[in-house]
Amino acid sequence: MSTQAAPSILFTHTNPQDGFRLLELSPELEELLTSKDAPVLELKSPSTALAQAVLDPAAQDYVNLCTPTQTYRIRQVQSSNSLHILRPSHAEISQADIKVVTEDEDPLSLPSEAVTAIAKCSSTLELHIPPGGFSAVPFLEKSLRLYDPRADDGDVAMEAESAPLDAKRVREMRERLWRDIPVSEKQCASGWMEVCGFVDSGEEIACWRPSARARLRVWKRVVEGSVLQGIDLEKQFLVRDLWRAVLDEDDEVEVPFPRALLEAVVRRICVEEERVDLRDEIKWASFDRVECTQWVGETYLAATAPISSSAIGRSEFLRGWKDCLPESWRAEAALSKLKNGCYSSPDPTTIFFVEPSQRQQASKTSSAPATAAKAKNTRNWHELLKGSR
């Protein structure tokens, strides 16, 4: 028989078995892991409190694999086949034992080399990105403190300017909070920018997100200040100058809101090319008239008509929106300029704001149950790696 000529390899089973997990890689992930300076990846799951606050319709317990820029949901796929992990072995086993596999009369038929099965996996971990991708925003909305001073008029709530926090401390605070958010660092940063997150040491050092009302107040002060100081918001200006313009000239001690909040708002609405890394100070900025008008419209609506029961008249809304804008921008305000789905109308004359989370849900629900059945994950890695030594 021809097979007799081919060299055979002794196949053995090692006891005790080792603990391994198998992870199926996407092409991007393979490239990342095999690159010269491959980054450390993270397996992230939300803290228990956050998981309860931000329910994912697609999964109850889950683990996400995060690269510095990308997030994948891990799905454990069971297989009826068993996958064994082999490694070369010296196979120091007695001749008597080898008799089990081969006849000892012919010493040539004894395999001289061996491989051994050191682990068995009955499931693999697969990665997928749900439609719509991952966002840090719903988690940030639950984990950041709401900054919402009760003041419709900017002159009421004045606070003493607190000593500026050093950049390192701010970064630590921010990144500690991100650890509980199960998405990549880049997505955390972009969500943080989206909600205008900031770190401030008011009563105590904390991470905040401004309410729509607070953001609107910042914007109104920005417009007033820029008019008074002759700052053209569409051309590059120094953020430091804008802060001075926002402050009352005669009042150096009291500030209308933390400077970090102004900077967060500027980061959010400045033209994209000027968006610097959160670790770097934002020194220069300029606003794009169209994008900025859209943001102001949405913010104004969120501040004045956050839910359907507080819906306001459309014309009233348009008037209010225009009043928030610099004189030369007023013509930009129109319902068609608002982002798709950010508002809803109970009847043809009124309008109210739709929370981003509600908007996504409408498009998500159709595909969610299908994935829910398949996604069975556990964040208990002790359990998953029980066998490893």
Partner 1 sequence: MPTIKLHPHCSSPAKATATDSTPNNPLPTLLQTPSGLALLELQGTINVPSSGNEDEDSMMDSTSTNNDLASTFETPIGKLMFPDYSIHNPDDTRWMKRAYLYVGRYQRMTGEVKKLPRPIAVLRKRRGSEEEELEVVEIVRYKIFFKSRPEPVTNV
Please give the residues from 148 up to 187 whose contact with partner 1 meets the rule CB under 8 A. Answer: 179-180, 182
Q: Which stretch binds partner 1 (CB under 8 A): 42-50, 232-240, 241-249, 292-300?
A: 42-50
CB of 142 to partner 1, least distance (A): 14
Q: Which helix (H) or strand (E) holds 123?
A: strand 114-128
Residue among 61, 69, 84, 142 that touches partner 1 (CB under 8 A): 84
Query: Does residue 100 interact with partner 1 by CB under 8 A?
Result: yes
78-109: string of b/e by CB count within 10 Å (b at 16+)?
eeeeeeeeeeebebeeeeeebeeeeeeeeeee
- Residue 53 within binding range of partner 1, rule CB under 8 A: no
For 50-64, b/e burial (b = at least 16 CB within 10 A) is: bbeebebebbeebbb
DSSP-derived letter for residue 253 is S
Q: Are 167 and 260 in contact (CB under 8 A)?
A: no
By CB under 8 A, the count of residues binding partner 1 is 80
- Under rule CB under 8 A, residue 42 binds partner 1: yes
Residues 6+ apart with CB under 8 A from 187: 69, 70, 71, 134, 135, 136
**Smallest separation, CB 117 to partner 1 (Å):** 7
What the block records as the tokens of 134 is: 């991952």
15 is a site residue for partner 1 (CB under 8 A): yes
Residues 354-383 that bind partner 1 (CB under 8 A): 379, 381-382
Cα–Cα distances (Å) from 72 to 131, 134, 338, 365, 379, in that order, read 11, 8, 31, 19, 14
Q: Which residue of 52, 68, 88, 146 would you call a contact of partner 1, by CB under 8 A?
A: 88
78 contacts partner 1 (rule: CB under 8 A): no
Using alpha carbons only, give the angle 268, 270, 271 rounded to the nearest 5 degrees: 120
Helix (H, G, I), strand (E, B) or coil at 125: strand
Binding of residue 95 to partner 1 (CB under 8 A): no
358-360-363 Cα angle (round to 5)? 115
Piece in contact with partner 1 (CB under 8 A), picked from 44-52, 200-208, 254-262, 309-317 = 44-52
Binders in 284-313 for partner 1, by CB under 8 A: none
Tell me if 385 contacts partner 1 by CB under 8 A: yes
CB of 15 to partner 1, least distance (A): 6
Interface pattern 102-131 for partner 1 (x via CB under 8 A)? xx-------x-xxxxxx-x---x-------
Residue 297, number of CB atoms within 10 A of its CB: 26
Q: Shortest Cβ distance from residue 76 to partner 1 (Å)?
A: 13
Is residue 77 at the binding interface for partner 1, with CB under 8 A as the rule?
Answer: no
Nearest distance from C-beta of residue 19 to partner 1, angstroms: 7
Minimum Å gap between C-beta 14 and partner 1 is 5
Q: Is 28 in the site for partner 1 (CB under 8 A)?
A: no
**Could you tell me which of 50, 47, 43 has the C-alpha nearest to residue 65?**
43
